[in-house]
């Protein structure tokens, strides 16, 4: 069975996003280790890109600095390889905009991802309607493609994503960009997640805005997994590895 699926079978995972190469290659490796050692079940590895349209200020800054420092997909693959060799049981999902895939080529990108320990992809600017070819290629390498749904997604889109998404569906808690929030639209969230689960029969993990234990506590009751990004990346940028450990432990506490 695929590693992502297996992880969801065992528990409701805490999925942690961080940016590769930020604020340095070494620090991003330390970040990954700290995330896993303090309880992250799945990592989303951010691939730096010059025009991250879905990202809020915190992650934008991370993209910008990593790009300026010359971090390339090749560097990201070096990092995933290193993480995978140390933590073979932790799924690594590359979170990348489509452009780097386009430049390297779908076939080659998937091959490199596979060779370097990745387990799948989330490509936020590749709509499922246009992803048939990429999914086919990724799947031929045994790599998962995870797709997103949002509060604005209707039945037809939900059905399509249900068919296209491997392992789980990423439900975006709110319309807008990534970034830690004080509160989430709980009522709508609960309704939508159960609707998606009912239509697709797939696991649904929720991300966007999650920043504290109170959030993970509520989300783990109404969904199959929780995704956290900006709250981590903020600490990552300061090189605050201890802070990352503390945060992940707290978020994880909410899920037990």
Which C-beta is closer to ligand IGP: that of 44 or that of 166?
44
- Minimum distance, C-beta of residue 179 to ligand IGP, in the bound complex (Å): 5
- Minimum distance, C-beta of residue 58 to ligand IGP, in the bound complex (Å): 7
Virtual torsion, Cα 202, 208, 212, 213, nearest 10 deg: -10
Which C-beta is closer to ligand IGP: that of 54 or that of 241?
54
Alpha carbon distance 149, 153 (integer Å): 6
Indicate the residue whose CB is closest to ligand IGP. Answer: 229
| Residues near ligand IGP, by CB under 6 A | 17, 44, 46, 54-55, 59, 95, 124, 178-179, 207-210, 227-231
Widest CA span of the chain, in angstroms?
45
Which C-beta is closer to ligand IGP: that of 43 or that of 160?
43
- Minimum distance, C-beta of residue 104 to ligand IGP, in the bound complex (Å): 19
Catalytic residue ranges? 44, 55
Kindly give the residue spans of alpha helices, DSSP state H, lying in the chain: 3-10, 25-37, 57-68, 73-86, 98-104, 106-115, 132-140, 155-164, 186-200, 213-222, 230-237, 241-253
Which C-beta is closer to ligand IGP: that of 13 or that of 207?
207
Burial 230-241 (b: 16+ CB within 10 A, else e): bbbbbbbbebbb
Alpha carbon distance 103, 100 (integer Å): 5
- Minimum distance, C-beta of residue 17 to ligand IGP, in the bound complex (Å): 4
Contacts of 223 (CB under 8 A, 6+ apart): 12, 171, 193, 204, 205, 206
């Amino acid at each position: 069975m695929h590693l992502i699926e297996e992880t969801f079978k065992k528990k409701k995972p805490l999925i942690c996003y961080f940016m590769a190469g930020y604020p340095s290659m070494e620090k991003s490796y330390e970040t990954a280790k700290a995330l896993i050692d303090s309880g992250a079940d799945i990592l989303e590895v951010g691939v730096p890109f010059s025009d991250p349209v879905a990202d809020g200020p915190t992650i934008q800054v991370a993209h910008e600095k990593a790009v300026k420092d010359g971090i390339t997909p090749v560097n990201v693959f070096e990092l995933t390889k290193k993480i995978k060799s140390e933590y073979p049981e932790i799924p690594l999902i590359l979170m990348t905009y489509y452009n780097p895939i386009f430049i390297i080529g779908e076939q080659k990108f998937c091959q490199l991802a596979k060779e370097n320990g990745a387990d799948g992809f989330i490509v936020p600017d590749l709509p499922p309607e246009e992803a048939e070819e990429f999914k086919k290629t990724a799947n031929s390498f045994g790599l998962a493609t995870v797709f997103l749904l949002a509060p604005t997604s209707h039945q037809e889109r939900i059905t399509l994503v249900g068919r296209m998404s491997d392992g789980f569906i990423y439900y975006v808690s709110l319309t807008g960009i990534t970034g830690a929030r004080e509160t989430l639209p709980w009522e709508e969230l609960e309704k939508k997640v159960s609707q998606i689960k009912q239509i697709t029969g797939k696991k649904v993990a929720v991300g966007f805005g999650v920043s504290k234990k109170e959030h993970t506590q509520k989300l783990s009751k109404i969904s199959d997994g929780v995704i956290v990004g900006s709250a981590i990346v903020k600490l990552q940028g300061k090189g605050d590895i201890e802070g990352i450990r503390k945060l992940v432990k707290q978020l994880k506490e909410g899920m037990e």
